[in-house]
Amino acid sequence: MIELKHISKTYQMGTAQVRALQDVSLTIKAGDFVAIMGPSGSGKSTMLHVLGFLDRPDAGAYFLNGHDISRLGDDQLAVLRNQTAGFVFQQFHLLPRITALDNIALPLIYAGKQHLRERASARIKAVGLGARADHQPNELSGGERQRVAIARALVNDPVIIFADEPTGNLDTKSEAEIMAILRELNAQGKTIVLVTHEREVAEHARRIILMRDGRIVSDEIKDAACPPARVDLASIDQALAGPVRVGGRAEWTDHVRQSAHAILSNRMRSLLSMLGILIGVAAVIAMLALGQGAKDAIAQRLSSLGSNLLMVRPGSSQMGGVSLGAGAVTRFTLDDAQAMARLMEVRRVSPTVSGRVQLVAGDKNWSTQVQGAGVDYAGMRSANPVLGRFFTAEELRMRERVALVGKTVAVQLFGDDNPVGRDIRVNRVSFRVIGVLPEKGASGWHDEDDVVMVPVTTAMYRLLGKQYVDSIDVEVADAALMEQAQESLRSLIIKRHKQEKDKEDSFQIRNMAEIQATLESTTQTMTLLLGSIAAISLLVGGIGIMNIMLVSVTERTREIGLRKAIGARKSDIISQFLIEAVLMTVIGGLIGIVLGTGTAWILSAVAGWATKVSLGSIVMAAAFSIAVGIVFGLRPAIQAANLNPIEALRYE
């Protein structure tokens, strides 16, 4: 079954070379029981590792059932270890935080036979530990742990059992039990290759090989009259004949289950790993919510400016570099507003004036801003009253004493009562309240709701004594006509006021759409800035996860070596560590989403800041956290997958 031809193996130990095997040739028949003996440094363990596909020779050929496996790839050797070999180690190499039954079932995962888990139950009963199946390794004696290791070696029904000092850490009674199990397995047709330095242990074998200085010095067959049992070697041919993926890869559900178990087994380390992602995702959610809330609040206030709106205001003239002040050259009248309304590009206009006034209602008084406007102001500036009505063209023409009040004014003068139909005095002039303006909110230190609105003619001639308007709002019929409307307005003003073209600074035409676009662009920039700052914390969290995972690889080196020894391929190790990193980032991300949403709500409820958590920000934060897990988990996963199984098992 096994034939070694002129095998050599040399290790580099610093500047010195250690020739562990020197031109070794050996034949082992199927069903044989071979004990390899020798002093420390004789090469017996290296021989076992080469025989068990855990290590590669530097020279020579290894034939397994007639197939040369000396140059097989890592994954092909992993398939052989999983399907044809079982390993029993002196140090047991049981995973500490899972049960004995789960330890036994590990090879089934890498064989794609997790559905045959009853095999593990049968094997643990066969070694007399059925009642201890749910116990963890630290709850078992040394002999019991070694029996679990033997059951694990048998779960995939291998044809060869490789045992490395299986009784080295056991008492005499446990040693006898383990050797009895190995003899029984040999009697059932299993080929046993055992390494030991104890003669009494080797005496249980049918054949004893003595090694010294990397060479075989004797090969003693004790019982030639008792030939080895006949063994079916079809499994070897099947493993070698199939593609690399023969035997199936560990299912994703098993990887997820094992990764989740690893996370729960190291709660503090996992929590520290998640913390960076958690804070990062929460910061992204909260910052984007804050930015989106500010954007929506600004958009709501900008809606009061109207759409396709131009604002015509008096400019200023300069003499000798000194400004003469606003309105020094051009003053606009109600007739100018009517002329502007007749332009073909214009839909409607509203002249406005404003000033400070004193209000009195009953025994209450309030100082506020009065604003005179045209009848089209409500439609142009989204100022349709929430209670009552707006004033009419007839009321404007007759300079009627009617008024609409903002929310702040209504609360200050009337409390919770409905102000519509009530009388107020504005600068000692009696007015009747006909409506309540919609709530606009505060802009900086200016309260947009602290206002009383009256017809522009009433404000000019009854309250403020003005002959000119302060500004004229012009709504253009279509956004595409904005530039054309500006030019028409400019020409009309120059013509009506007999201005020279080089004196156009005597009036101003402001495009409110451009102001809106600028403010929206600024808000968008601030949102992106806040999100970018928060995303930096996500990157920092990702680096933290990579560092923790790299430490985890170091801590779990022997575990990785064990998994590779029982058949895990590079892809299986990469998948497990990558899923573990992604799981931590996803869990941290989910907690971060909850924390970020809660933070946004607190900022809104307690601090009064405008916030809005959008589905897009949640999806983006979740996707980013998953990407962080993949990107920063990949390097530790690859590092773990590239570990040499022998070096990993020997790691202290």
pLDDT of residue 286: 82
Q: Packing angle between helix 557-565 and helix 74-84, nearest 10 degrees?
A: 70
pLDDT of residue 327: 46
199: number of Cβ within 10 Å: 10
Among the residues of 245-364, which ranges form H helices?
252-265, 267-302, 334-341
pLDDT of residue 247: 40
Whether residue 350 contacts residue 279, with contact meaning beta carbons closer than 8 Å, is answered with no
Residue 223 confidence (pLDDT) above 70? no
Outline where DSSP puts E strands in 397-456. 402-405, 423-426, 429-436, 442-443, 446-447, 451-455
What's the average model confidence in pLDDT over 350-358?
Answer: 94
Residue 302 confidence (pLDDT) above 70? no
- C-alpha 67/C-alpha 64 separation (Å) is 5
Alpha carbons within 13 angstroms on the beta-carbon side of residue 420 total 11
What's the average model confidence in pLDDT over 276-296?
Answer: 78
Q: Please list the residues that pair with 64 across neighbouring strands.
A: 2, 67
pLDDT of residue 423: 94
Average pLDDT, the chain: 83
Comparing CA positions, the residue from 373, 368, 403 lying closest to residue 306 is 373
- C-alpha 212/C-alpha 217 separation (Å) is 7
- C-alpha 63/C-alpha 55 separation (Å) is 14
Comparing CA positions, the residue from 459, 467, 358, 355 lying closest to residue 403 is 459
pLDDT of residue 326: 47
| Structural tokens at position 365 | 């008084």
Residue 233 confidence (pLDDT) above 80? no
Residues 22-54 pLDDT 10s: 999 999 998 899 999 988 888 898 899 899 888
Residue 154 confidence (pLDDT) above 60? yes
Residues 469-486 pLDDT 10s: 999 999 988 878 888 988
pLDDT band at 342 (very low <50, low <70, confident <90, very high): very high
Residue 422 confidence (pLDDT) above 90? yes
Whether residue 515 contacts residue 305, with contact meaning beta carbons closer than 8 Å, is answered with yes
pLDDT of residue 549: 77
- C-alpha 544/C-alpha 275 separation (Å) is 9
pLDDT of residue 323: 53
Q: SS3 of 436, please?
A: strand
Q: Please list the residues that pair with 204 across neighbouring strands.
A: none
15: number of Cβ within 10 Å: 5
Residues 538-550 pLDDT 10s: 777 777 777 777 7
Q: What is the CA radius of gyration of the chain?
A: 44
Residue 421 confidence (pLDDT) above 80? yes
- C-alpha 321/C-alpha 255 separation (Å) is 79
| Most confident of the following: 105-119, 204-218, 576-590, 634-648 | 204-218
Comparing CA positions, the residue from 591, 565, 603, 623 lying closest to residue 292 is 603
Q: At residue 320, what are phi and psi to the nearest 5 degrees?
A: 65, 30
Residues 244-266 pLDDT 10s: 444 444 567 777 877 787 778 77
- The angle formed by the CA atoms of residues 486, 492 and 495, to the nearest 5 degrees, is 140
pLDDT band at 413 (very low <50, low <70, confident <90, very high): very high
pLDDT band at 434 (very low <50, low <70, confident <90, very high): very high
- C-alpha 101/C-alpha 123 separation (Å) is 9
What's the average model confidence in pLDDT over 407-417?
Answer: 93
pLDDT of residue 243: 53
What's the average model confidence in pLDDT over 400-424?
Answer: 94
- C-alpha 287/C-alpha 291 separation (Å) is 6
pLDDT of residue 168: 80
Comparing CA positions, the residue from 352, 366, 458 lying closest to residue 410 is 366
